[in-house]
Amino acid sequence: MNNIAGRPLNGVVVEDDDEDEANGDGLEAWERAYTEDRSWESLQEDESGLLRPIDTTAIHHAQYRRRLRALAATAATARIQKGLIRYMYIVVDLSKAASERDFRPSRMAVIAKQVEAFIREFFDQNPLSHVGLVTTKDGVAQSLTDLGGSPESHIKALMGKLECSAEMFICKHLCQETGGTYSVALDESHFKELILEHAPPPPAIAEYATANLIKMGFPQRAAEGSVAICTCHEEAKTGGGYTCPRCKVRVCELPTECRICGLTLISSPHLARSYHHLFPIVPFVEISPSSQNDPSHNFPNICFGCQESLLSHGNKPELSVSCPKCKQQFCLDCDIYIHESLHNCPGCESFRHSKSVTIA
């Protein structure tokens, strides 16, 4: 049975949706979300039946710009000291501005997604460092999570700030005075790019660049059948966890700091990943498409990393790079992955492995 708009039904006034339909031009809510971003119109079917972007120039240019920044950073920081242990607070704005929908589905959703990705990337590149989360609302800052390290540790300088709204002079001035960076995100991809720039450790300030020795412990995995009280959650657990080599208490995961004796507990892979930025991979040499057509050079047509073809749809060579040591050729995607995530050249590692097998 249809209800007339405005007529009381069991004491409840039912309103019609004429206003909502007028605002949305007769579209449903899920349809209005795609009226401005018609991404399916930028796709076309290639010869093999796959959907590809109509214009891939922007993608290649974005990869090329990231490569140029990586080259510039490597050249500028080749002989600059960097710290192994970092302490960082991430301040998240929970005011009304976070609910605006200029970023889809909202600023808060985009920030939460990218902060989670940044934390994963940060600890992947800095496993011995510590992060704390702080939220701001109604002019009040509240600690959401404590630092992962010692409670006596403090942040001495504001290193950077990211905003999704218009630039504020006071924030920009603070970042300039403390040696940080201030940026305004234009969209979600730009915001991701800006926040991930803070994952690699920055150059150490000369005032604090003193070398200090830090005691670290390498705990052993506890027996599966043993029962002990976990100092992390203060409850009894059976099996699993790690035993502090100094005070013999149980912790759940690594890396962490023992709450009893204060010893930093890590594993050997964490220590290995924490200093890869001290020995960066040499930037790969660009190979232009015209050089690949030169018959005097025998360049392969397959990327050594992903085994994908280095030829375009018209069997024309695309821009690629080559390792100056092992001379293996890689595509731009593998070049970015090797320098930003893997931190090892697959060609050099395979050559070193085959050489050791031959000697044995």
DSSP string, 249-304: -EESSSSEE-TTT--EE--HHHHHHHTGGGSPPPPPEEE-HHHHT-TTS---SB-T
Q: What's the pLDDT score for residue 306? A: 92
C-alpha–C-alpha distance, residues 107 and 162, integer Å? 13
Q: What's the pLDDT score for residue 354? A: 63
Instruction: Please say whether the beta carbons of 239 and 223 come within 8 A.
Output: yes
Please give the DSSP secondary-structure letter assigned to residue 163.
E
Name the pairing type of β-strands 256-257 and 250-251: unpaired
Burial zone of 192 (CB within 10 Å; 0-12 exposed, 13-18 middle, 19+ buried): middle
pTM of the model: 0.59
Q: Name the residue among 287, 269, 300, 305 with its Cα closest to residue 123.
A: 269
**Same topology between domain 82-204 and domain 280-359:** no
CATH 3.30.2290.10 applies to domain 82-204: no
Q: Beta partners for 317?
A: 311
The encoded tokens of residue 325 equal: 């040591």
Cα 182 to chain center, whole Å? 18
C-alpha–C-alpha distance, residues 303 and 343, integer Å? 17
Q: Which fold has domain 280-359?
A: Herpes Virus-1 (3.30.40)
Q: For the chain, give every domain's residue range.
A: 82-204, 216-276, 280-359
Helices then strands (H, E): number in the chain? Answer: 10, 20
pLDDT truncated to tens, each residue of the chain (360 aa)?
A: 444 444 444 444 444 444 444 444 555 655 555 555 556 556 666 667 777 665 555 565 566 656 656 656 655 555 566 777 888 888 878 777 777 777 777 777 788 778 788 888 887 888 888 888 887 888 888 777 777 643 333 333 333 344 555 567 777 787 878 777 788 887 777 888 888 888 777 777 666 666 778 888 999 888 777 788 888 777 887 777 889 999 988 888 888 888 889 898 888 888 877 777 777 788 888 887 777 666 666 778 889 999 998 887 667 777 788 898 998 999 888 888 888 778 889 999 888 766 555 555
The encoded tokens of residue 233 equal: 């959650």
The encoded tokens of residue 350 equal: 């395979």
